[in-house]
Chains A and B, each alone.
Chain A
């Protein structure tokens, strides 16, 4: 059994205080992330209110099945992450590493699908800019706003996932070396919080971006 390094920092009285402080710190950080994404959600709600037809029509250009599939993939990665944290707490090193790797692979699959979707938008001239053309869209003049928000919000989400990947790789390496066990697995827990938060953002992005008015009933 490899030794677990606790690395109690000298300004803390004991390990419990250190863990407690780190956990609160991560939650406060997630609080800032809520407000960060919040600004984009505000812009979304304002413009959806102003241009409902444009938003509905532009939203229909996204692929519902791909979006739902991708959401499923991300939820799977949340499960594997939760199980990883559990394994860390139980000292099951090999399973921990396995679940962390699965989380990474599932997250990678999500981003792969996103890249495909972005490419698809590029091919269909749905990227706002000089070559923009929303074919068959109602109120096409205002559809760039939807797509700008689509790219802005999913792009910001994706960049958070990329940062997550870097951290995940570091965690996998450390876990493999036996750094985590029942007495100390705070980094795994805290990363889990971050990863679940990123999942929650997507839980909202999916209906807001992909599911506007898919009934095909003319308004």
Chain B
């Protein structure tokens, strides 16, 4: 007997429950706020990328023929400010952290949903200030705003830029505050600390840094603005001020800030490596504690940015040793990811490709950081392209690969759609190749002495610079392709189902996209984390 198929109404999820613009702009739902952040950071990534393109175009030839030096100064400054404060710092926590944290701990939302929405508006306000700076002529001090150039001599919009970053910093503080309280008090029944996914541990450590470090740069920028406005002399030697004090205050935050950028990425990689090895992360406790160790030790090393700034040599020695020590927890993680894959059932999916890329490139970036931590070597390498290559390896090869991997891994959860597998794998490989072609030559250039922040260079450096610029265009292509197919997938992608990757995480136990309150029934956790079901063993013969 043929019965008519039942008419199934599309289930309500967080995307279709309301679709007015107002419902998005006044949402308290952490998932929607994550999407709002995704749109915003993608926009600013494109802006920062535009400046990168201009830089690499100029550097394709030794002469300063594309732009003048003061314009070039503005290009690398804006590239740095936009990429660091408007993209890297918020990216994973504000997008993936916001979306996933409550899901991963079985909660309905973060602890303070209204504060969460406020953090997005505060971020947008900071972004607005910086966009204003961009449109009215830019700032040329470098993203580091060193004094007394920034306070007394620069002709750019230093005050507006400083205020923009000050405001954006509060967004970061609010996110961190929210996550700390959420993780402490909103966990589902049975979810003890050591049953938490390592992504959550990574975000807890990140939130510690956001909460403890960001206020210091806030007050530093406040002093900078006061000095520039009223010529007080905090940082101007002419009035008895100390420019190195600015650097201490600036780097007290900005060094831990790099751990804000990398720790969430490490959390993403742990999740991806575990799922696609079908294995519990090796050394769960080590990974968890190493995240906290990175957060704490990360606050003790900022003086390695001041080795040649006339900081006391004795202080320098202590910072140098501590900088070596801070590499250890990161190395522990690399070991643990590798050990997780060993004898695991490895599936090479797109997120896994990004994770592989992360592990290799972050290792190179991290090791080259050790070169720079040695005071003697730093005297030669500082302010050269070696430093530029080092931090791009960790921030782009590390943090951004992690971000892309995370987007690709959780895209089915966030949108309910799958993206085309072939294109996604190809673009991951293009990103990897383009990245290495762009930045590896820069290690060589730096070692040979090419200084950073110069738009002209001696002719003998041209070949490596051209390779780097060529790599940049390939990298740009690698970033553009996902943008296209991810959009495409929203309309034409296959429906994903709740758990396309077969992961045991709590976020995969609800529908894709999740319902507005995340779970139909509050989950009760009875198993340890990463409990993969054993595959049935098929006896042959």
Contact = CB atoms under 8 A, between A and B. Distances in A.
B216 A39 contact: yes
Given A28-B177, A28-B181, A40-B219, A35 B108 contact: no
B232 A43 contact: no
A128 interface: yes
Nearest to A152: B226
B185 A21 contact: yes
Interface in B61-114: 107-113
Given A31-B212, A32-B173, A40-B219, A25 B233 contact: no
A183 interface: no
B230 interface: yes
A156 B223 CA distance: 11
Contacts, number: 104
B241 interface: yes
Given A24-B184, A36-B215, A43 B230 contact: no
A113 interface: no
Interface in A88-129: 128-129
B185 A145 contact: no
Contacts of A40: 219, 223
B163 to A, nearest CB: 15
Contacts of B186: 11, 17, 21
B215 A20 contact: no
Interface in B241-260: 241-242, 245, 248-249
A33 interface: yes
Given A17-B185, A152-B223, A128 B232 contact: yes
B398 interface: no
A129 B249 contact: no
A47 B233 CA distance: 11
Contact of B239 (A35, A46, A144): A144
Contact of A148 (B177, B184, B234): B234
Q: Interface size for chain B: under 10, 10 to 19, 20 to 34, or 35 or more residues? A: 35 or more
Nearest to A17: B185
A144 B185 contact: no
Interface string A15-35: 001001100110011011111
Given A32-B177, A51-B240, A144-B232, A11 B107 contact: yes
Contact of A36 (B110, B219, B230): B219
B212 A145 contact: no
B185 A24 contact: yes
Contacts of B242: 46-47, 50
A17 B248 CA distance: 40
Contacts of A39: 215-216, 219-220, 223, 249
Interface string B197-240: 00000000000000111111011101100100011111000011
B362 to A, nearest CB: 28
B231 A129 contact: yes
Contacts of B353: none
Contact of A31 (B107, B211, B233): B211
Contact of B214 (A32, A141, A156): A32
Nearest to B522: A13
A148 B232 contact: yes
B111 A25 contact: yes
A42 interface: yes
B181 A11 contact: no
Contacts of A86: none
B180 interface: yes
Contacts of A28: 177, 180-181, 211
A38 interface: yes
Nearest to B518: A11
14 contacts: A11-B108, A17-B185, A21-B112, A28-B177, A32-B211, A33-B215, A36-B218, A38-B216, A39-B215, A43-B223, A47-B241, A128-B233, A129-B231, A152-B223
Interface of B: 107-113, 115, 173, 177-178, 180-181, 184-186, 211-216, 218-220, 222-223, 226, 230-234, 239-242, 245, 248-249
Interface of A: 9-11, 17, 20-21, 24-25, 28-29, 31-40, 42-43, 46-47, 50-51, 128-129, 141-142, 144-145, 148, 152, 156
Given A10-B108, A11-B111, A39-B220, 16 more contacts: A9-B113, A11-B109, A11-B186, A21-B112, A24-B184, A25-B112, A32-B214, A38-B215, A39-B216, A42-B249, A46-B245, A128-B232, A129-B230, A144-B239, A145-B240, A152-B223
6 smallest beta-carbon distances between A and B, as pairs: A39-B219, A36-B215, A11-B109, A35-B215, A11-B108, A148-B232
